[in-house]
Amino acid sequence: MCGIIGYVGSADANTPDAIDILLDGLSELEYRGYDSAGVALANAELDVYKSEGELEELVSSLSVSELREPGVGIGHTRWSTHGPPTDTNAHPHTDDSGRVAVVHNGIIENYQTLRDELTAEGVTFESETDTEVVPYLISLYLESAENADGVRSDGGSIVYERAFRRAIDRIEGSYAIAAVFEGDETIYATRKESPLVLGIEENGDGRAGDADGQSTGAEGGYYLASDVPAFIEHTDRVVYLEDEEFVRLNGEGYEVSDEDGTTIEKTVKTVDFDAEDTGKSGYDHHMLKEVHEQPSALRQCLRGRVDELAGTVTLEELDTFVEQEFAAPIEFVACGTSYHAALYGASLLQQRGIHATATIASEYTTDRVPVDDDTLVVGITQSGETADTLRALREANRAGGTTLAVTNTVGSSAARACDHALYIRAGPEIGVAATKTFASQQLTLLVLSAAVSSQISHDEIQSLRRVPDQVRTILETTSAREVAEELVGSDAFFFIGRGLHYPVALEGALKFKEITYEHAEGFAAGELKHGPLALVTENTPVFAVVTGDGQTARKTISNIKEVEARDAPVVVVTDGASDVERYADYVLGIPETNERCAAVLANVQLQLIAYWVANTMGRSIDKPRNLAKSVTVE
């Protein structure tokens, strides 16, 4: 869940200073962790600077102007797993001689065994992290290889690469690791079940050069990062590393190889967003910007997939795959917000007569949820790097099931690990709390459910097409800010819904607790009277999602009356069809539509409630405490 950045200037170019590249890259990666940050500059000497706290703490401690020189460097922003956020636990970590510096994202599962082994060799560890064993392992193997044959003709030490590979060979777990050495202007890196991507800036603008193969040292620079936003300002040309691939990059270029050292030809791809996509565009927070980007994100999600004139939905990515009969269960696996999307997707399929279930990915095993050759396992992960979801998908693959990744990230681990990939097309999302990606997941699953069942009416297609404009209407007319300001200071906040609105209630509560730090819970509306009602008081607002005027709406109104009788403030999110407003203290309206699309619209109002309560309370909205955007550890 940590963020890694690396940079090497081309030997043939007038390259920018490494410290500026590293600090700018880390600022774009803080959504992955912001407990501490650090950089290592590997020029004639190896200089390491790191600090507890957010990136600004590191920057304020540096004399950046004195560090400005072309060269090589790596940086890291941390989300703590082993040891609290302190200066000592911050990355990069070095050996005691300061010859090697390492940054790491992931979990080293056998670190205690390695730590005990190294302690017996005389090593004294300073930090509580699992990462610190890596530079000491590298140092151990360096000492045993000092007299090995020397330097590559294209730059970079054979000794250093061998020591790095031997150390990695000892590690068990998930990781993306990058290392630099004193006196060697080269970065050595590898990955396993944790993201790592190269950026290639050639001819000075990042947009030129050949489309395939290894670098030949064109002008520009070479970047290494956990995610593309770290270097998108400089180049849109990328190489995605696969598990157990190694990369060596220096001023002469880069080389990717397998675990045996055999060179691998990699395809250079072009990403389809630019630096402006990751900025705030005048909004106070990334989250608010991304909430307001939902109309355009949803239009992009539907583009080319919904044909109103023909009355059809088409998913070109899946081709004939969606045309088969799904007699066997469809199993959704996901975590957090994506799990709420999975619940929504499973309910959509159930409505269309297809057996579907949703399981939290960390609880998923093929022993518990049997998989055979006819089973479709759908992993939902906005980043495509969620560790629990990736493990579940890989287990399903081994059991013989067909796997489908529903993700926002082209080239992500999930997209590459699965038999099929379906992209939600939400664009970059920087705020830790998912907003436009959840709405895009909802709409993508709505299209998927129609496609696999071949069941969609002309009215439903029209409703789908209207969703982006209806979201815009909500954003322009909402009274969420006023309602939020009235309710700040309440003891707890409950969210209820039935049917397709139950996952929306869960997501509303999750979004609320993520950024306000207040107690919030989501319930199936009918479950209130089976225990949670004991917690309801006059200081416990209840948010209820009620649309349409059918049996589901009437039953939810009965639940609203239950909390009304306990003097709890009631906030309803409604299209007004059921006359539920008469039982509410506050009303958040949505345009009238069908139940499936209404779940997308209702979610927007609950996002805004969470945002405005958090904003009124002065919370850190884009970087909520203890959380990170991409959860790459189990």
3-state secondary structure 28-43: HHHHHCCCEEEEEEEC
CA separation for the pair 232, 28 (Å, rounded): 10
Q: Do domains 279-474 and 478-634 have the same CATH topology?
A: yes
What's the average model confidence in pLDDT over 213-236? 76
Q: How confident is the model at residue 439, as a pLDDT?
A: 97
Residue 122 has pLDDT above 90, yes or no: yes
Q: Look at 609 and 157; give whichever has higher pLDDT.
A: 609
Neighbours of 567 (CB within 10 A): 11
What's the average model confidence in pLDDT over 214-218? 43
CA separation for the pair 570, 564 (Å, rounded): 7
What's the average model confidence in pLDDT over 241-257? 92
Mean pLDDT of the residues in the chain: 88
What's the average model confidence in pLDDT over 66-78? 85
Buried b vs exposed e over 480-514: b needs ≥16 C-beta within 10 Å?
beebbeebeebeebbbbbbbbbbbbbbbbbbbbbb
3-class secondary-structure state, position 109: coil
In angstroms and rounded to an integer, the radius of gyration of the C-alpha atoms of the chain is: 26
Contacts of residue 60, defined as CB under 8 A and 6 or more positions apart, other chains included, come to none
> Exposed, middle or buried, 561 (CB in 10 Å: 0-12/13-18/19+)?
exposed
Single out the residue of 517, 492, 511, 520 nearest to residue 617, CA to CA: 517
Token code pair at residue 14: 């007038």
Is the CB of residue 545 less than 8 Å from the CB of residue 580?
A: no
CA separation for the pair 589, 63 (Å, rounded): 52
How would residue 205 be classed by pLDDT, with cut points 50, 70 and 90?
very low
Q: How confident is the model at residue 560, as a pLDDT?
A: 94
User: Which of the 8 DSSP states describes residue 221?
Assistant: E
pLDDT tens for each residue of 508-536: 999 999 999 999 999 999 998 899 999 99
Token code pair at residue 95: 């050996």
Residue 326 has pLDDT above 80, yes or no: no
Q: Which helix (H) or strand (E) holds 117?
A: helix 111-120
Q: How confident is the model at residue 146, as a pLDDT?
A: 57
What's the average model confidence in pLDDT over 469-483? 96
Q: How confident is the model at residue 209, as a pLDDT?
A: 38
CATH class for the region spanning 478-634:
alpha beta
Please give the full DSSP string across 252-284, using - where no structure is assigned.
Answer: TEEEEE-TT--B---B-EE-S--GGGGS-TT-S
Q: How many CA atoms lie within 13 A of 429 on its CB side?
A: 30
Token code pair at residue 267: 């395809």
Q: How confident is the model at residue 149, as a pLDDT?
A: 55
Residue 7 has pLDDT above 50, yes or no: yes
Q: Name the fold adopted by 279-474.
A: Rossmann fold (3.40.50)
Contacts of residue 618, defined as CB under 8 A and 6 or more positions apart, other chains included, come to none
Residue 243 has pLDDT above 50, yes or no: yes
pLDDT tens for each residue of 552-602: 999 999 999 999 889 899 999 999 999 899 999 999 999 999 999 999 999
Beta strands in 458-569 (DSSP E): 493-497, 520-524, 542-546
Q: How confident is the model at residue 215, as a pLDDT?
A: 45
Q: How confident is the model at residue 370, as a pLDDT?
A: 83
Degrees to nearest 5, angle at CA 554 with 552 and 557? 110
User: Which of the 8 DSSP states describes residue 131?
Assistant: T
Q: Look at 10 and 438; give whichever has higher pLDDT.
A: 438
For the chain, the domains span 3-278, 279-474, 478-634
pLDDT tens for each residue of 260-275: 999 999 999 898 766 6
Q: How confident is the model at residue 237, as a pLDDT?
A: 93
Architecture in CATH of 3-278: 4-Layer Sandwich (3.60)
> Which positions are catalytic?
2, 629
User: Which of the 8 DSSP states describes residue 182?
Assistant: T
pLDDT tens for each residue of 337-366: 999 999 999 999 999 889 999 999 999 988
CA separation for the pair 43, 72 (Å, rounded): 6
List the alpha helices (DSSP H) in 358-492: 387-398, 413-417, 436-453, 458-477, 480-487
How would residue 387 be classed by pLDDT, with cut points 50, 70 and 90?
confident
pLDDT tens for each residue of 306-315: 887 777 888 8
How would residue 213 be classed by pLDDT, with cut points 50, 70 and 90?
very low
Is the CB of residue 215 less than 8 Å from the CB of residue 222?
A: yes
Q: In terms of DSSP bridges, do strands 312-313 and 306-307 run parallel, antiparallel, or are they unpaired?
A: antiparallel
3-class secondary-structure state, position 304: coil
Residue 11 has pLDDT above 80, yes or no: no
Single out the residue of 634, 599, 433, 581 nearest to residue 516, CA to CA: 433
Q: How confident is the model at residue 203, as a pLDDT?
A: 53
